[in-house]
Amino acid sequence: QARLVQSGAEVKEPGASVKVSCKASGYTFTGHYMHWVRQAPGQGLEWMGIINPTGRRRWYEEKFQGRVTLTRDTSTSTDYMELTSLRSDDTAVYYCARDSSRWFGANQGWWFDPWGQGTLVTVSS
């Protein structure tokens, strides 16, 4: 079945960059968009952005514009999320999650499934 495996935990200093990978298996990689979501310690889920199946288009949450870049390598079925100019409040678990959608009567719905296991990024001097 579909599975997403993320890269390991990272510790970074303020001002540095981090790049998290998300390798997909068990489904047609180029048939789905991919979302990225983060969760700060003790906090809720925060949507960061989405990349389209070819990797040519991305959309980012406004607060991350200019600092986040999503990329995709279709040859290895791997997505990447790079966050630059790291601050202490970027300390969080970062998740990738596969997008699916369809119409339910007159309403369209999207769902994120599966999720990667999460990658803890710690920003500390």
Is 25 a binding residue for another protein by CB under 8 A? The answer is: no
Q: Which of 50, 81, 121, 123 binds another protein (CB under 8 A)?
A: 50
How far CA 78 is from CA of 41, 42, 98, 121, in Å, comes to 26, 29, 12, 19
Q: Which stretch binds another protein (CB under 8 A): 9-17, 23-31, 66-74, 116-124?
A: 116-124
Name residue, tokens 């630059």: 84
Distance (Å) of CA 38 to CA 3, 31, 50, 52: 18, 23, 13, 19
* Cis preceding linkage at 114, omega within 30: yes
Does 107 engage in binding with another protein (CB under 8 A)?
yes
Match 């790049």 to its residue by tokens: 19
Asked whether position 67 contacts another protein by CB under 8 A, the answer is no
Stretch that binds another protein, among 21-29, 69-77, 81-89, 103-111 (CB under 8 A): 103-111
- Binding track, positions 79-98, relative to another protein; x by CB under 8 A: ----------------x-x-
